[in-house]
Amino acid sequence: MDARIAFQGELGAYSHQACVETRPDFDPLPCATFEEALEAVRSGAAELGMIAVENSTYGRVQDVYHLLPKAGLHIVAETFVRVHVNLLGVKGAQLSDITGAHGHPVILPQCGKFLRNNGIKGISNTDNARAAREVADAGDKTQAALASKLAADIYGLDVIASEIEDHKLNTTRFLIMSREADHSRRADKMVTAFMFRLRNIPAALFKALGGFATNGINMTKLESYMVDGVFTATQFYADIEGHPDDENVKLALDELGYFTEMVEILGVYPADPRRS
């Protein structure tokens, strides 16, 4: 059996596009939810997982940041995918025919200007690729899907209008997850992802993060969580630029340890060139 990469969504989803662009030698494994995609990797049904974490227009994928700390997996890479939103219709449909466009609630506002200008009603769907499949199955020339050109190819739809997103730099960041950790230095610019739980002492967060500032380390992501519904127990997810073997990163992590109950590295991976 060929190696597989799990993703959330149906075939033709933007996560599927990320798999095709980044790991073309892996067979895609569609999963209904992020939990199922992570479980597919954890169980061995897939070797890797392609997990969307944030979009430049919409912001973070909040559910994922809650799942990552308890997934039991390791981040081994990141990738950025330009999200081009396309209006897909059944064969022969014209823009003037379309009265409704189906897409995920996240994607609808990303092309709101186009929809308003063309008198098209946005209709919510749980998945963009599913919307494309359902439009194809229904065969109604008045209904369209907001999805990728990959979805158009898979479901036999016409691209009625291409790249209709309001923001032309619309990009989604994905993390590639694995059962096996890889902390080797594979590039000059590396990213270290970790989570930590603060001790319940005054100014703990200020003190814990001070070592990164004094050692000249750029922290690019910081997310907070309550632990077990207790307000006094706070856990954080963080991304920093650098490798754990770098002297300044070692010093910062050592200082972090003084003010935390737990520090756990979730991944060490090359910074994607598109990050900047």
Same domain, 101 and 157: yes
Same domain, 218 and 243: yes
**The pairing of beta strand 121-124 with beta strand 86-89:** unpaired
Residue showing tokens 């059962």 = 179
What pLDDT, on the 0 to 100 scale, is given for residue 15?
95
Query: Which distant-in-sequence residues (6+ apart) come within 8 Å of 178 by Cβ?
Result: 41, 47, 48, 49, 73, 74, 76
94 is a domain residue: yes
What pLDDT, on the 0 to 100 scale, is given for residue 68?
84
Output the pTM of the full model: 0.89
Contact predicate 55/104, CB 8 Å: no
Q: Catalytic pick from 22, 80, 114, 172?
A: 172
Among 178, 210, 239, the domain-final residue is: 178
Same domain, 250 and 233: yes
Same domain, 244 and 194: yes
Residue 206 structural domain: 190-271
What pLDDT, on the 0 to 100 scale, is given for residue 201?
80
Count of the separate structural domains present in the chain: 3
184 is a domain residue: no
238 is a domain residue: yes
Task: Tell me, yes or no, if 80 is annotated catalytic.
Answer: no
Task: Tell me, yes or no, if 174 is annotated catalytic.
Answer: yes
CATH of residue 214: 3.30.70.260
What pLDDT, on the 0 to 100 scale, is given for residue 83?
87
Burial level of 118, CB count in 10 A (0-12/13-18/19+)? middle
CATH of residue 126: 3.40.190.10
Digitized pLDDT (tens) for each residue of the chain, 276 residues in all? 579 999 999 999 999 999 999 999 999 999 999 999 999 999 999 999 999 998 877 777 777 877 888 899 999 999 999 989 999 999 999 999 999 999 988 889 889 999 999 999 999 998 999 999 999 999 999 999 999 999 999 999 999 999 999 888 889 999 999 999 999 999 999 999 999 998 878 888 898 999 999 999 999 999 887 666 666 557 899 999 999 999 999 999 999 999 998 999 999 999 999 887
Residue 75, φ and ψ in degrees, nearest 5: -85, 125
The CA-to-CA distance between both ends of the chain, in Å, stands at 37
Torsion angle (degrees, nearest 10) of CA 171, 60, 77, 223: 150
276 is a domain residue: no
What pLDDT, on the 0 to 100 scale, is given for residue 152?
97
Same domain, 74 and 106: no
What pLDDT, on the 0 to 100 scale, is given for residue 14?
93
Same domain, 78 and 90: no
48 is a domain residue: yes
Report the interhelical angle of 247-258 vs 204-214 (nearest 10°). Answer: 170
38 is a domain residue: yes
Q: Catalytic pick from 7, 34, 114, 174?
A: 174
Report the distance separating Cα 102 and Cα 98, nearest Å: 11
What pLDDT, on the 0 to 100 scale, is given for residue 232?
58
Query: Which distant-in-sequence residues (6+ apart) come within 8 Å of 36 by Cβ?
Result: 6, 8
Same domain, 65 and 118: no
Q: Please, which residues bridge with residue 240 across strands? A: 192, 219
